[in-house]
Amino acid sequence: GAVVSQHPSRVICKSGTSVKIECRSLDFQATTMFWYRQFPKQSLMLMATSNEGSKATYEQGVEKDKFLINHASLTLSTLTVTSAHPEDSSFYICSARHRGLPEAFFGQGTRLTVV
Amino acid sequence: AQSVSQHNHHVILSEAASLELGCNYSYGGTVNLFWYVQYPGQHLQLLLKYFSGDPLVKGIKGFEAEFIKSKFSFNLRKPSVQWSDTAEYFCAVNARSNDYKLSFGAGTTVTVRA
């Protein structure tokens, strides 16, 4: 069945640096990818939706210049956290969906710690 | 836009007890419904889903859920829980009219005591 791979699973970076997270659909074409953020003991909050070949649509309150999303191919989307600060430390999760299907499949998540 | 409400924030029960977690959604159109589980320190796993057809859905690990359209509900049940069911449970809903964006409930922490 549909497999979504997210890399890295954990990353620690220094404050002020940028971090790139990759989300790959391994066995299907992901026409849409979603990026979520989960703080400890909280639910998943949708950050942005990206469709292949077009600009991402960000949810209200999410800074598009801070969280850069690229979805250049049907199997890969990337989230870059620019100029990371400790408050950006969180669990980032992607999901991928094929056109015409109602279900999106989740990656394993990336735990980002900014020190 | 749709929203999801999970009634129980934290449920504590003993092994072999029955579990029911409430989930209500607000959306006027056709929806797809999901229950996910997140074990401590792990990623999300799909327990079950409802798109159409039989409103009683059976999932993995002995879980089931019933879609009651008139009540906008999709409650999760398990007749007899095990210690390994200790986890966070999330109800989620999406709709074609909202580009299949998933909205999650706040989650319910389930603690099963041995």
Distance between CA atoms of residues B47 and A58, nearest Å: 28
What's the angle, vertex CA B51, arms to CA B48 and CA B57, rounded to 5? 40
Question: Tell me, what's the pLDDT at B29?
Answer: 86
Length of chain A: 115
Quick one: average pLDDT of A36-64? 93
Quick one: average pLDDT of B42-57? 95
Q: What is the pLDDT of residues A14-36, one digit of tens each?
A: 999 999 999 999 999 999 999 99
The partner residues of B112 in beta bridges, in order of sequence, read B13
Give the residue from A44, A52, A57, A99 with the most B CB atoms within 10 Å of its CB, the best one to mutate: A44
Q: Which of B23-32, B50-59, B75-84 has the lowest mean pLDDT?
A: B23-32
Q: What is the pLDDT of residues A75-88, one digit of tens each?
A: 999 999 999 999 99
Question: Tell me, what's the pLDDT at B28?
Answer: 77
Of B96, B102, B104, which has the smallest distance from its Cβ to A104's Cβ?
Answer: B102
* Res. A108: pLDDT tops 90: yes
Higher pLDDT, B36 or B97: B36
The answer to whether the Cα torsion of A111, A112, B3, B6 is positive or negative is positive
Pairwise CB contact (< 8 Å): A108 & B43: yes
Chain B positions touching chain A (beta carbons under 8 Å): 32, 34, 36, 43-44, 46, 49, 51, 90, 94, 96, 99-107, 109
Chain B residue numbers with beta carbons less than 8 Å from the beta carbon of A95 are: 102
Angstroms from B94 CA to nearest CA on chain A:
8
Give residue A41's pLDDT band: very low, low, confident or very high (50, 70, 90).
confident
Question: Tell me, what's the pLDDT at A2?
Answer: 86
Give residue A61's pLDDT band: very low, low, confident or very high (50, 70, 90).
very high
Q: What is the pLDDT of residues B7-36, one digit of tens each?
A: 899 999 999 999 999 999 998 789 999 999
User: How do B32-38 and A67-73 pair as beta strands?
Assistant: unpaired
Contact B19, B64 (CB under 8 A): no
Contact A23, A45 (CB under 8 A): no
